[in-house]
Amino acid sequence: MLISTKGRYALRVLTDMAEHQGDGYVPLKEIAQRQEISEKYLESIVKILVKGGVLSGLRGKGGGYRLVRDPDQFSILDILELMEGSLAPVACLEKCSVPCERMSVCHTLPMWKGLDEVIREYLGRFTIRDLMDSEIPGYDFMI
């Protein structure tokens, strides 16, 4: 599994917005500057986040984007699935996959299911609020 820049940048954008949500709508230009990400590229990310119901936007003076819910209500798993699609380690475990003909005799399937559960459980533990909290031990990373 390899998380794309869209997935990684979406988490950075959402964390940035959460940190500045007291300012009302946050202009994309400001986020781009703070995060050192192309504004054009952020537009494509924000479009997905708006369509997915994570952000709302306002045009014009005083416009920008903001989270539609509190940062602790967005799991990292949900955001990454929105941006990346499936996070399943193998195709046969994807949500809409056609059942594999070999499932009943596949000796590796239990291992892949276990890995999928670990990934989903681990990412489901964290929220955007958690990413904002740099005081928690072990949170000294950059996505």
Q: What pLDDT sits at residue 135?
A: 60
Predicted TM-score (pTM) of the model is 0.86
Residue 26 φ/ψ, nearest 5 degrees = -105, 120
Q: What pLDDT sits at residue 2?
A: 85
Q: What pLDDT sits at residue 94?
A: 87
Cα 9 to Cα 43: distance, rounded to the nearest angstrom: 11
Mean pLDDT of each 10-residue bin along the chain, 143 residues long = 92 95 89 95 97 94 92 97 92 82 87 94 95 66 55
